[in-house]
Structure 1
Amino acid sequence: MGYGKDVQQELRAPARALRQAIPQIYESFGQLYAASLTAGALDAKTKELISLAIAVSTQCDGCIAAHARGAAIQGSTPQEAAEAIGVAIMMAGGPATVYGPRAFAAFNEFHAERASSSENAAPGP
């Protein structure tokens, strides 16, 4: 495992326990999350990259892991992720130079997994 998956694994059990304690809050947040990341004037990839940059600037490891994965799933390239992280560094300063590399490592982990899955997929008809 790497940085992104480690964070997700670490948060899995406590998040499940909290979700069971306050299901309505999590259901409402899930609806907001889905609505916010649905393609509109901005495509889903751009929204995930924005989310990744905000996660860096707010220093949220769980958010970094979630949106690094989301950006990879949406087809973002490592260069696109790096540039989004660069904007976060410009806006957030020194702390973002710590969380930016974490975000880039998490993105690269999920990007490599996605690329590997694509390479191993059976060819179409």
Structure 2
Amino acid sequence: MSAYQQPEDFAYGKALMSLAPKEAQAFLNLKAVAERADGAIPAKYRELISIAVALTTQCSYCIDAHTKNALEAGATREELAETVFIASALRAGAAVGHGLMALKLFDEKAAQASSEPGRA
């Protein structure tokens, strides 16, 4: 089996877009609007945000593209490092937040089980 997520995989982009052209165009339009240079958020920060999202969604291709774009937009290694740890903290925070839900669901199921006839 081929290795997953290799830079050479970008070559499949044209084929993928040609197989679903309307969907591809909609995606490319959204991407263009989100990554436009004339927005209120400067390009460097847009790219650092994109890297943070790519790190949390674990998209190797996005990390590759947006790291290159961030460098071109003037981001520093220190800004990249801080972005990595901000994304890391938020990813961990999401696990804690979902942990709250898990504890709540556990308590609800435990209360339900203990109120069933024959269980105490």
Equivalent residue runs for 1:1-125 within 5 Å: 7-9=6-8, 11-38=9-36, 39-93=38-92
Could you list the runs of 5+ residues in structure 2 that have no partner in the other structure?
93-120
- C-alpha separation between the residues in 2 aligned to 1:69 and 1:8? 13
Contact 1:49/1:71 (8 A) holds in 2? yes
Q: Which whole-Å CA distance do the structure 1 matches of 2:71 and 2:24 have between them?
A: 24
- Report the identity percentage: 36
Gaps of 5+ in 1: 1-5, 94-125
Bigger Rg, which one: 2
Aligned residue identity for 1:67: H
1:55–1:61 CA contact under 8 A, matched in 2: yes
Distance apart, 1:71 and its partner CA: 0.9
Q: Is the 8 A contact 1:7 1:65 kept in 2?
A: no
What's the C-alpha RMSD, in Å, of the aligned pairs?
Answer: 1.6
CA distance in 1, matches of 2:14, 2:29: 17
Give 2:62's aligned amino acid.
Answer: C
Q: Higher relative contact order at CA 8 Å, sep ≥6: structure 1 or structure 2?
A: 1
How many residue pairs align between the two structures? Answer: 87
Q: In the alignment, what sits opposite 1:101?
A: none
Deviation track 1:5-50 (CA, whole Å, cap 9, x = no partner) reads x8432x2232222111112222221111111112322111101100
Output the TM-score relative to the length of structure 1.
0.63
Higher helix share: 1
